[in-house]
Structure 1
Amino acid sequence: MAKYLRSRLIAPALGLAAAGPLVAAFALSSSPAQAQMAVFDPRNYSQNLLTAARTLQQINNQIQSLQNEATMLLNQAKNLARVDFPELQALNADIQQIDRLMAQAQGIGFQVSGLDQQFRQLFPHDYGQALSTDQQVIAARRRLDAAMNAYRQTMTLQAQVAENVQADAGLLNRLVARSQGAEGALQATQTSNQLLALAAKQQFQIQDLMAAQYRAQATEAARRAQAEIDGRLATKRFLGTGSTYTPR
């Protein structure tokens, strides 16, 4: 009986002794968990949100700045883009054709050197002596040929200019289309220069045409004046001194 009571008392004691460390361990493990609990600070939270918003705005500003720089580079590339002018060779060829027609002038040319000699050969300054009939016919024929050649050259030049004007109409439309489709400053400037080149070519043609026309008119006027002078000299030669014949 005593042994039975001893066992009954020892068992609970051993249970308490075994449970003691577990209780202590639980108490030790639960106390740090309570010390690590986060405390919410509204003021700190709002400050962090404001800082994040400002940082995001700075990033957006940097992105916008990079986009603006990219746009600026693209615009600079457009401003440096060139436009071709393949019609320039055709314009030069037309001007050279007009020059060749001007150089084909017969009788009295368009060169200053030798102009006086050519003019004196056709229109002599010695009006005091009447030429013979054969000389008058030869000189008059030369002057008539010079006048006819001048008019022929003028008409040839007019025909060439008319053909060039028809070709320039299509060229003008193409240049205007390029000017309207210019993307940058360089292309706009180049197309403007191309339009000016076309206008300069047409001005050159007009000047050459006017020179040929005035030359033909001047040659004809000089021919008529020379014919009048020759007629007066021939009449004077025919009449002689003008004294009447008196028979003896």
Structure 2
Amino acid sequence: MKIRPIRNALAAGAAILSLSVTALAPAPAYAQFGGIVYDPTNYVQNVLTAARTLEQINNQIRQIQNQATSLINEARNLASLPTSVLAPLQQQIQQTQQLLGQAQRMAYNVQQIQTQFAQQYKSIDLSAPQRTLVEGAESRWQTSVAAFEDALKVQAGAVANIAGTRNAVNDLVTASQSATGALQAAQAGNQLLAVQSQQLADLIASVTALGRAQTLDAASSAAAKAQAREQLRRFLTPGRGYVATSVQMFRN
């Protein structure tokens, strides 16, 4: 009879212990407001997901900005130089060519030089009459004088081109310093090389014209020496000598 009350007491104690354990267990983190369930854990996860998404969007925006900057730089590198000095340089070169083309008596042509030089300097007929020899010497002298005149014209043209060359260099240096891309800088450099080529062309033309004049003068001197020897030989060759003739001084 005493055993049943003990059993009942143990069962009651076990029930109370079970309720106590249940009361001490952590409750799920959520609350209900006006019918809406609020879960703090889920909210934190959503906030983290939104932050990651925003960071990805910012990274994509930065990538697009970098691509746009790269495209702008490429466009600048492909932009052409707004300044060009090729037209005035070509005009200066044409003026020098015109001066060379105006060469007098002995043109800058290989075939014409061969023909004219042979006629005036190489194939001189020293057996020709005195008058013919004198006319040939005078023609060669005129050719030398004309060649020196041509050289002076070419040199004057080269000097006149210095002002245009200076302006071209100033424009190109200014354009190269303000170049926005690689193409503009390269084009400025190429045009500066063109200016130097134009100056070199003027220098070659001046040296060539002066060399032509000096060569023709030297050839004229050589021909004159040959002619002088022939004329001296004729003068010293014995002839019939002086023959006295009657001269009437006054008329009746």
- Give the TM interval when normalised to the shorter protein: 0.7 to 0.9
User: What corresponds to 1:191 in structure 2?
Assistant: 188
User: What corresponds to 1:150 in structure 2?
Assistant: 147
TM-score by length of 1: 0.75
Is residue 2:132 matched to residue 1:135? Answer: yes
What's the offset of the Cα at 1:86? 4.7
Could you list the runs of 4 or more consecutive aligned residues of structure 1 that deviate by over 6 angstroms after TM superposition? 32-37
What's the offset of the Cα at 1:133? 2.4
Q: Unpaired runs of 5+ in structure 2?
A: 1-31, 239-252
Q: Determine the C-alpha separation between the residues in 1 that align with 2:200 and 2:227.
A: 40
User: What corresponds to 1:111 in structure 2?
Assistant: 109
Is residue 2:94 matched to residue 1:96? Answer: yes
TM-score by length of 2: 0.74
Report how many aligned residue pairs link the two structures: 207
Task: Please point out which of 167, 170, 179 is paired with 2:164.
Answer: 167
SS at match of 1:113: helix
Q: Determine the C-alpha separation between the residues in 2 that align with 1:146 and 1:33.
A: 119
8 A contact 2:83–2:172 mirrored in 1:
no
User: What corresponds to 2:213 in structure 1?
Assistant: 216
What's the offset of the Cα at 1:201? 1.3
What's the offset of the Cα at 1:240? 3.0
8 A contact 2:81–2:184 mirrored in 1:
yes
Q: Determine the C-alpha separation between the residues in 2 that align with 1:205 and 1:190.
A: 23
CA 1:161–1:119 in structure 2 vs 1: closer, same or farther (change >3 Å)? same
User: What corresponds to 2:74 in structure 1?
Assistant: 76
8 A contact 1:130–1:230 mirrored in 2:
no
Q: Determine the C-alpha separation between the residues in 2 that align with 1:210 and 1:124.
A: 25
Percent same amino acid among aligned pairs?
Answer: 37
| CA RMSD, 1 decimal | 2.3
User: What corresponds to 1:5 in structure 2?
Assistant: none
Q: Unpaired runs of 5+ in structure 1?
A: 1-31, 242-248
What's the offset of the Cα at 1:37? 6.3
8 A contact 2:84–2:191 mirrored in 1:
no
8 A contact 1:154–1:209 mirrored in 2:
yes
Deviations 1:7-28 (A, max 9, x none): xxxxxxxxxxxxxxxxxxxxxx
Is residue 2:197 matched to residue 1:200? Answer: yes
CA 1:135–1:60 in structure 2 vs 1: closer, same or farther (change >3 Å)? same
Counterpart amino acid of residue 101 in structure 2: A
What's the offset of the Cα at 1:172? 0.5
Pick which of 45-54 and 211-220 moved more. 45-54
